[in-house]
Structure 1
């Protein structure tokens, strides 16, 4: 039986080729994803490990150097005194104090350099008396910065921008433009720089003034003296730690950073593997279809094997061995292709400007094992049902070909199961759509969608006859070829269903995501126009806080009639930490258009606060309610609710006057500033505002249309990425149509020969095969688009619970394009099978069995 199975594989190489390609593509996507993410993750991890090569111990606020920020009350600081005590520890050879933050550098062309949030500023720590050297940043040109107005640039940034020692560079920390002289260029192992970011160094006192406070550090790092272990150094350092600080070994820091990198990569890896799974799922239909047709075509052969003594188990095993061989070949080829895809994706990142640290291509054992197991298991599982069906054929019945048609009982059972699944899935989806929050509805929505898809797949043979019959009037236009094509497409409903289902799944996902993205974008447009009356919002390009100088510059601009900052400050309300938003109580009503359920912005001064309805309902507040609050500086106060408004994603939470909030903020900064101009929004007004702010590349001046477009760009980018990933599933679906038609042509060779003999021209044969493919593809397309719109609507109902402006938007133009895509898939897939059918020798075909 083993020899028989292997002989069958070699005898049907052409017919199994499409199956191999389908599995190969899915496996290549899986292995390519694993290789790519492992390569990037390994490169970043090794780069980060280099950054900790001179760190044996780090002193920082408990929970990390950022953890002390953003909470009310006294914040932990590492002072100069802590650094001096660390230097006196017997086990410490080198001690370094560091402070860092955002520093946007403009190139010579005036544009922002780096990747926005990766634009970093830090201090060059030269030791006591500023006479030493910072081992982290060896200078390749010039010297280290020693006073205000001087900076040093990393070598990669200097090469990209063309800055040299002696040049003046424009940069911004929190809004105002600075002009500093480049005095040095340094090399670094910083992973941020390796990823395409920028690093600007200041002298320590300047960096402290810009990013922290005079005499204070974010972190103090220690290098152990010879003979001192990290554990011993940590034990010594525990005695000098201030309250709220901790000592972390360099080994632990490197491990934590590696885990953080791995976690950040896991999201992308999971997303890509989901689409690889979709491709493999679609491939299952092709594999099952292929083996079903092979078994059908070899019925007499299998019956003969049974007649000469082969058992059912041996016949089943024979078919599964064929699947194992096909799966192994496809998996190995897919793994090789995946390694190439991983290398290509890494190169592509470099081409689009996303710099990746240098490192080797990583093909680990998990990628190899996962790829091989996935390809083989998927193929064998998909072939199992056809193998069982082959084993159940009685020898006598098979030889007389009375087994071919499915029994009425089997069809009734199949349709009943499909109807139950479809009904259960629809009920789950509709139930999820009624839930109040996305968190509650996610699981039932996903489960319902999966069950409904399975139900539709099971029901597709039943649906194929009425749906394809609806195309009969159109098919009559093509005469005999059209009539034959329609009859052929419904001759074997199960085969038609399996072929159409592959395309149905891809178009369901594409349509559903398009409907959701379009509807969410429409909701955001409504929020941008309905929530704000301001002509412009001013913010940092990376949305870090703006300095108060920006607000003061705008106030001096004669064209501005009203302005208000939006400041964020943490405060404790009851047992929870909430973020208070500081606004100008006198002008906020002119700049926003919020729907108040009670009260208003009038008199928003002193201890008055307006809150969104969700917060008010959760805390059972109403106009006149008073509540205690602990501000950022730890001082206590009492606020009184003077208004309740309907919040949205643009504006929500607690709003109070800046005169009340500012005295309690450690550093007075704004997330954005809203302004209204005398003549409204215009290009000249925007240009004037940008000029007033020093044409700063780090600052965004956006009107409502700009704000909406910037959000639209994010959705468009995400949607295009999804389209690209789902294209893999569509390609696999195309292979499925080609495979089905090619094998169908082979199966109907005698029939095609007879048609040619009684006068059907080669052109007519080609047209018949093409129209059959077109009908099957449009059938899958119609089902996919219908399901996609339904899923888009139901998911939208879930989104609407947290996004009140959400309403269903059906992009009819794109849906028409998707239907045209389905038709194009059908026509493209039919090219080779149609050509093959037309070339059949009619006499040889008539004699074939």
Structure 2
């Protein structure tokens, strides 16, 4: 049976080429993604480890599960106590923070959050010049100096969350800092200057400890924990390196997840092609399989022979895909290195996991897809198969199939509708989507006849070829359905993304037009970091400003649950934001407000008291004085005067500003000038904020469209394969049509029109499902509290999707149509 299986593979090389190519594309995408991600992750990990070669344990502000670190500053007394511990070889205070360095053209250098500044110490060897010793001096890393062209003695502009500063470059140093390798920059100041800019005089952000010989990092960490005040933690250099590597590779990891998801869709689409291919091949070999049964082969052996064929095809495609994927991973890395010279160096990494996953996926998808045709073939009685009197699709089997499909589609529709009424219906929506899609796929043969029949008036205009094309499309509903379903998947996702994107765009514009943001400007840092502590006070002193409130986030524990508490200036907030208060008021003192959803879930009411533990460890009891409707983010909100008592330093990520006379370019310039005209500070009005959000939505959607194009390409291969095999099956029929007068151009038109009909059938199903799923996602978003969400159907874009489906049909039919037209009439008529 093994020899028979291998012989059959070699006998049908041309027909199996499209199947191999489809699996190869999906597998290559998976392999390339894994190789690229693993290589970059390993390079960043090695680079991060070098960043902490002189550190064994770091003392730092504790990080909360609900948000950022506690913001605690470490004083010199803690540094001295840690240095006196047994097993400590050295202890250094570290001060660091965001520092925007401008190049010679005034543009910010680096990659946002990785653009940092710190105090100088001996761990940074000077390549040229000397370390900074006083205010107005700075040293920069060698990679930044090379990129910008700065030399010792040059004057640079930089910003530390506040006004732009001017400093003289006194030295250029080398560093293995992983953030620098990730594309950032590092500027060093003397310790006094760094403390003034990033912390407070005599205080540090971190304390780095080096273990004495004979003491391990873990032993040192355990010893120092007894000294730590509330809100401070000790972690080893190993964990620090892992965190930094994770931070640096986060964007690549997110991209890899998207790529893997799209590759999964492509492989799922390929499964339909495989099912189609093996169904036709098994049907064409029904006499051969029946003869094997007649001479003693068991049903299991026949099934096994078909699955062996599938395994050989899957293995061939997987090996080729793995090789191409490795090449893709290397090529992508080379291209990124050419555009981002700061990517860390490292070898191309092909993990054993990658090889196993790729081979298992390729072989597994192919074998699983081929199992159903193989099983169906063995159910045919040998005598019936040899006499060609056996009809595989009985009325009973069709009734069972349609019943199962109807049940799955009904349950899926019900769950999808129910998800929109739930506070957290993501899982329900996902399950409903899967069931509905499965149900529609099962019902596709039933749906194909009425949908394709609706195209009959248009096809009649093409005369005989149009009529023949329609009849050919509905002749084998199962095959037509499987071919159309492959295209349906990709177009469903694309249509759904179009609906979601258009609805999100409308929601953003509705929000901008609503009174949620009543202020004129939002001030923030380019990297999302904290603004200068005095930024809000500086803006409040301007004559043009009528209201100012920062948005301040700090981690806390509310009634035993870690979460982020948000603070506003209650006296001005009504002029800047519409909080959507449904009950009570937002005021100062030991009070708080909370969103309605959180209050309902916790059983809170206006007048109740809640216990809150602040970052400094102090616990207070607050009175709930109001409830609000959450449009985007909920949770506990308090007045700034209450939370500021428990902070070592103020850290505002954004400031809302209202000016007299409304937004204008002159007012915007005034605000920027007051904040020191820093290159890192962004002052945006509501229109600019709206454009930023819609632009980001469009960018994400365009990336996803590009990724899903792979699934459409695989679907095109499926249409080509189906038409090619259909032409082979109808060789005699085409010969007879040619014999009675149908010319070659007519044969080509017939095949093309059949292809367009099948493609448009898949396109109609895809667009319909996409609109439904886009609407369902919108209901879920609205249920989460975003009341500006509006369901929008972009008919123009969806018409383009259908037009693209028609183009797919024309392109996919080109080779089969030419092949059909070139058939020899006499040879075709004699074909059995």
Give CA deviations for 1:29-74 in whole Å, capped at 9, x if unaligned. Answer: 2211211111111111111111232233334456699999438xxx
> Deviation at 1:620?
6.3
Partner of 1:130: none
Deviates further, 500-509 or 645-654: 645-654
Could you tell me how far apart the structure 2 residues matched to 1:236 and 1:617 are? 44
The correspondence for 1:151, drawn from 119, 127, 138, is: 138
Alpha-carbon spacing, 1:586–1:262, altered in 2? closer, same or farther (3 Å): closer
Gapped regions of structure 2 (runs ≥ 5): none
> Deviation at 1:189?
1.1
Structure 2 contact 20–313 (Cα < 8 Å) conserved: yes
Partner of 2:94: 98
Partner of 2:789: 806
Asked if 1:120 is matched to 2:120, the reply is no
Query: What aligned pairs does 1:31-110 form with structure 2 within 5 A after superposition?
Result: 31-60=31-60, 69-70=69-70, 75=72, 78-88=74-84, 91-110=87-106
> Deviation at 1:842?
1.3
TM-score normalised over the length of structure 1: 0.90
Could you tell me how far apart the structure 2 residues matched to 1:692 and 1:630 are? 36
Query: What aligned pairs does 1:420-569 form with structure 2 within 5 A after superposition?
Result: 420-435=407-422, 437-438=423-424, 441-530=425-514, 531-569=516-554
Partner of 2:747: 765
> Deviation at 1:720?
1.8
Could you tell me how far apart the structure 2 residues matched to 1:186 and 1:674 are? 39
Could you tell me how far apart the structure 2 residues matched to 1:379 and 1:716 are? 35
> Deviation at 1:845?
1.2
Q: Secondary structure at the match of 1:671?
A: strand
Could you tell me how far apart the structure 2 residues matched to 1:626 and 1:315 are? 73
The correspondence for 2:273, drawn from 286, 306, 313, is: 286
Gapped regions of structure 1 (runs ≥ 5): 126-133
TM-score normalised over the length of structure 2: 0.92
> Deviation at 1:247?
4.9
> Deviation at 1:258?
6.0
Q: Secondary structure at the match of 2:652?
A: coil
Partner of 1:742: 724
Could you tell me how far apart the structure 1 residues matched to 2:238 and 2:686 are? 49
Could you tell me how far apart the structure 2 residues matched to 1:534 and 1:702 are? 11
Asked if 1:778 is matched to 2:774, the reply is no
> Deviation at 1:500?
0.3
Deviates further, 589-598 or 369-378: 589-598
Could you tell me how far apart the structure 1 residues matched to 2:64 and 2:430 are? 37
Alpha-carbon spacing, 1:677–1:233, altered in 2? closer, same or farther (3 Å): closer
The correspondence for 2:664, drawn from 682, 685, 707, is: 682
Could you tell me how far apart the structure 1 residues matched to 2:224 and 2:526 are? 40
Alpha-carbon spacing, 1:559–1:484, altered in 2? closer, same or farther (3 Å): same
Partner of 2:208: 221
Could you tell me how far apart the structure 1 residues matched to 2:563 and 2:323 are? 52
Asked if 1:316 is matched to 2:316, the reply is no
Query: What aligned pairs does 1:576-591 form with structure 2 within 5 A after superposition?
Result: 576=561, 581-591=566-576
Give CA deviations for 1:434-465 in whole Å, capped at 9, x if unaligned. Answer: 21x12xx2222211211111111111101100
Structure 2 contact 70–231 (Cα < 8 Å) conserved: no
Give CA deviations for 1:616-671 in whole Å, capped at 9, x if unaligned. Answer: 55566666667676666667777666654433227874253x55555554324433
Structure 2 contact 592–638 (Cα < 8 Å) conserved: yes
Asked if 1:413 is matched to 2:404, the reply is no
> Deviation at 1:774?
0.5
Could you tell me how far apart the structure 1 residues matched to 2:59 and 2:739 are? 90
Could you tell me how far apart the structure 2 residues matched to 1:421 and 1:356 are? 49
Could you tell me how far apart the structure 2 residues matched to 1:654 and 1:513 are? 34
Give CA deviations for 1:596-617 in whole Å, capped at 9, x if unaligned. Answer: 434567xx55567665444555
Structure 2 contact 66–555 (Cα < 8 Å) conserved: no
Deviates further, 179-188 or 580-589: 580-589
Alpha-carbon spacing, 1:581–1:398, altered in 2? closer, same or farther (3 Å): closer
Give CA deviations for 1:668-706 in whole Å, capped at 9, x if unaligned. Answer: 443322223333223444344334434322111111111
Partner of 1:188: 175
Give CA deviations for 1:369-392 in whole Å, capped at 9, x if unaligned. Answer: 111121112112211222223333
Could you tell me how far apart the structure 2 residues matched to 1:2 and 1:380 are? 15
> Deviation at 1:501?
0.5
Could you tell me how far apart the structure 2 residues matched to 1:634 and 1:230 are? 27
Could you tell me how far apart the structure 2 residues matched to 1:621 and 1:309 are? 75
Could you tell me how far apart the structure 1 residues matched to 2:407 and 2:811 are? 36
Alpha-carbon spacing, 1:668–1:840, altered in 2? closer, same or farther (3 Å): same
Structure 2 contact 23–317 (Cα < 8 Å) conserved: yes
Alpha-carbon spacing, 1:718–1:258, altered in 2? closer, same or farther (3 Å): same
Structure 1 contact 534–592 (Cα < 8 Å) conserved: yes
Asked if 1:828 is matched to 2:783, the reply is no
Report the aligned-residue RMSD.
Answer: 3.0
Give CA deviations for 1:703-731 in whole Å, capped at 9, x if unaligned. Answer: 11111121122222221222122111111
Partner of 1:128: none
Could you tell me how far apart the structure 2 residues matched to 1:68 and 1:16 are? 55
Give CA deviations for 1:350-380 in whole Å, capped at 9, x if unaligned. Answer: 3554842111110011111111121112112
Deviates further, 737-746 or 148-157: 148-157
